[in-house]
Amino acid sequence: MKTKLLLGAAVLALSLTTAAACAAPSAAVVAAVADKARPEADTKRDADRKPAEMLEFAGVKPGQTVVDFLPGGGYFTRIFSKAVGPKGTVYAVYPPPSAPADPAKPAPTPAAETIAADPAYGNVKTVKVTFAKFAIPSQADVIWTSQNYHDLYLTRFNLDVPAVTKQIYDAVKPGGVFIVLDHRAADGAPVVETANTLHRIDPASVRKTVEAAGFKYEGESKVLANPADDHTKGVFDPALRGHTDQFIYKFRKPK
C-alpha cells in the first residue's frame, strides 16, 4: 500500500509539472508577445525562443514586479514590460559597463537603457549591480535569468555563486519565483570548466545550489529541449547556435 501511495504521489507531481509547462498562455502574455513595437530581430527569434510558453511557465501576470537579470539585448525585457502592464514594474538588472579601452570610442549604450528611455516601455527601470552584490529597489514576484546563470561561474568573475544565489533569494517576495533558463551540459559535467569552455551548466548543479539558498524546486519546462544536442559543442558553434538543448527550472520561495 505504501509503495502504491508513493507511486501515486510521484505520478501526480509529474502531471502537475507537465500541466504547468504546457498551460496555454494568458491573454496578457499573448498580447505582450504580439507587441508591434518589438524589433523585427526579436520577433524573428520567437519560433526558437517560445516566449509565450516561457512567460506562462514563469507565471508572469499584470501588476507584478519582474526582474530580468542580465537582460542582454532586452529580448525578454520588452515582453515582460507589456505582460505586467502599467501597474507592474520590470527591473533590468546588469553590471555597470566597463570603461572603454579607448576613450575616443565610448562603449555602446546598454540595450536596457534604450528600452527604459522608450515611452512604450515606461515601466522598465534599469538597476546596475555588481555580480557579487545583487540588490533591487523592492522584492520581486519573479526573478528571471535566461542563458546566464552559468556565467556566474566564469573564472574571471571569481564569484561565490551560492552567496549570489542567496542574495537573489532575499530579493524574491515570499511565494515568488526564480526562473533559471540555461544551456544544458552533460550530467555531472564540472561546473566551472564547462561554464568557461562551453557556456553550459549541469542542471543538477543549478538545482543543488538554488535549493541550498532556500528555494523549493517546483518544476521544469522542456519546451526548449533538443535531444539532437549531445552537449559536447560550445553554444556559439555555428552548427548549434540558437538550438541548444535548454532547461527551464522554476523555484519558489516559501511563504
Helix (H) or strand (E) holding 163: helix 161-171
Which residues does residue 251 pair with via DSSP β-bridges, in sequence order?
178, 217
> Rounded distance, CA 120 to CA 47, Å?
24
Q: pLDDT value at position 23?
A: 72
Residue 191 neighbours by CB under 8 Å, 6+ apart: 150, 153, 201, 202, 205
Q: pLDDT value at position 145?
A: 97
Q: pLDDT value at position 240?
A: 92
Q: pLDDT value at position 62?
A: 98
Low-confidence spans in the chain with pLDDT less than 70: 1-22, 99-101
Which residues does residue 67 pair with via DSSP β-bridges, in sequence order?
91, 143
> Rounded distance, CA 184 to CA 14, Å?
20
Task: Please give the order of strands across the beta sheet that includes 172-183.
Answer: 124-128, 89-94, 65-69, 140-146, 172-183, 246-252, 216-221
Q: pLDDT value at position 101?
A: 64
Grid coordinates standing for 139? 522584492
Report helix, strand or coil for 247.
Answer: strand
Query: Per-domain residue ranges for the chain?
Result: 2-252
Q: What is the CA radius of gyration of the chain?
A: 18
Contact 201, 185 (CB under 8 A): yes
CA 2 to chain centroid, in Å, comes to 38
In the numeric block, the cell 550530467 is attached to: 187
- Superfamily of 2-252 according to CATH: Vaccinia Virus protein VP39 (3.40.50.150)
Q: pLDDT value at position 174?
A: 98
Q: Find, among 103, 101, 43, 92, the residue nearest to 66 by Cα.
A: 92
Per-residue pLDDT reduced to its tens digit, 161-183: 999 999 999 999 999 999 999 99
Q: Find, among 225, 212, 81, 227, the residue nearest to 144 by Cα.
A: 81
Q: pLDDT value at position 14?
A: 42
- Please give the span between the terminal C-alpha atoms of the chain, in angstroms, as a whole number: 33
Q: pLDDT value at position 32?
A: 96
Contact 90, 125 (CB under 8 A): yes
